[in-house]
């Protein structure tokens, strides 16, 4: 099939969550960060899908297309794309130039945003739960999300990713995380962005991301390393949302 356009889709929603006061805590407002990445998701295809969570993020936050890098800097594959999003620099700086990047890169001097948080404050509770395993397991090269992160898990499937993320948020007082879904990209390669399976994949991934990011805690989360209160917040309401570009499904992995 022909490549999808290099005008990128919105597929990463970065939401800062303002949590209600923790009972007995002097801290009235605790902010959390969650970045959700959906590989291959195109902004102009969201409206045709049944994706109320994404629609709400777009309506209450901000959304815009962006122009991705292209050859000769790097192909629009998942490796360079996610490294760009995770680190905040272009491929000519992080040097992840393919889906098999090995150790010849600059991730050490251009780390992912969760690693930067850990370096700034090692008591920060961080996690990366992903469907595409090379992001965390080293199967294609040095993991884009480094070993400095407290929890790194590759699930092998979007539903498992959603379940594991929801479980982690129910049982820990996590501060910042990244959740990655991959089925939309697979659908794009299978039937194209205009196909029904692509719209269905958007619906399924959006539903999964909504469940994973807004769990209902059944009980107190595990105590944090900092010794701060482990009592669960009573509500979690997104107060602002931003969007960023995802790598479109332009080349097979």
**Strands across the sheet containing 30-38:** 151-154, 126-130, 176-181, 30-38, 9-19, 236-246
Q: Which two tokens stand for residue 63?
A: 């959304």
**75: its two tokens:** 């192909």
Walk me through the domains of the chain, giving residue ranges and CATH numbers. 9-246 (3.40.720.10)
Show the CA angle centred on residue 52, arms to residues 50 and 53, nearest 5°: 130
Higher pLDDT, 197 or 5: 197
Three-state DSSP at 155 gives coil
pLDDT at 115 over 90: yes
CB 184 within 8 A of CB 201: yes
Per the model's pLDDT, the better-predicted residue between 225 and 126 turns out to be 126
- Token pair of 91 as six digits: 């491929």
pLDDT attached to residue 232: 28
Two tokens at 231?
């009592």
DSSP code string of 61-129: S-----BPP-TTT--S-HHHHHHHHHHSS-HHHH---SS--BT-S-TTTS--HHHHHHHH-TT--EEEE
Q: In angstroms, rounded to a whole number, what is the distance separating the alpha carbons of residues 139 and 136?
A: 8
pLDDT at 210 (0 to 100): 76
Tell me the per-residue pLDDT of 135-180, one tens digit each, with 9 for 90 and over.
Answer: 999 999 999 999 999 999 999 899 999 999 999 999 999 999 999 9
How does pLDDT run across 180-225, given as a tens digit for each residue? 999 999 999 999 999 899 999 999 988 877 766 654 444 443 333 3
Distance between CA atoms of residues 40 and 234, nearest Å = 35
């Amino acid at each position: 099939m022909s490549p999808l356009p290099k005008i990128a889709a919105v597929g990463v929603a970065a939401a800062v969550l303002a949590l209600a006061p923790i009972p007995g805590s002097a801290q009235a407002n605790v902010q959390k960060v969650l970045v959700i990445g959906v590989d291959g998701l195109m902004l102009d295809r969201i409206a045709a899908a049944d994706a109320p969570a994404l629609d709400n993020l777009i309506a209450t936050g901000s959304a815009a297309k962006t122009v991705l890098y292209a050859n000769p800097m790097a192909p629009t594959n998942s490796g360079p794309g996610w490294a760009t999003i995770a680190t905040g620099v272009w491929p000519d700086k992080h040097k992840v130039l393919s889906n098999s990047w090995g150790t010849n890169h600059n991730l050490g001097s251009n780390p992912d945003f969760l690693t930067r948080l850990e370096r700034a404050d090692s008591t920060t509770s961080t996690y990366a739960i992903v469907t595409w395993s090379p992001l965390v397991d080293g199967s294609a090269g040095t993991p884009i999300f480094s070993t400095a992160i407290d929890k790194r898990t590759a699930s092998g499937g979007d539903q498992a990713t959603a379940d594991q993320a929801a479980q982690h948020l129910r049982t820990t007082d996590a501060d910042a995380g990244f959740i990655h879904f991959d089925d939309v990209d697979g659908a794009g390669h299978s039937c194209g962005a205009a196909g029904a399976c692509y719209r269905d994949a958007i619906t399924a991934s959006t539903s999964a991301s909504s469940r994973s990011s807004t769990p209902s805690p059944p009980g107190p989360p595990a105590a944090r390393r900092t010794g701060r209160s482990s009592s669960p917040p009573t509500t979690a309401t997104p107060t602002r949302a931003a969007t960023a570009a995802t790598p479109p499904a332009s080349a097979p992995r």
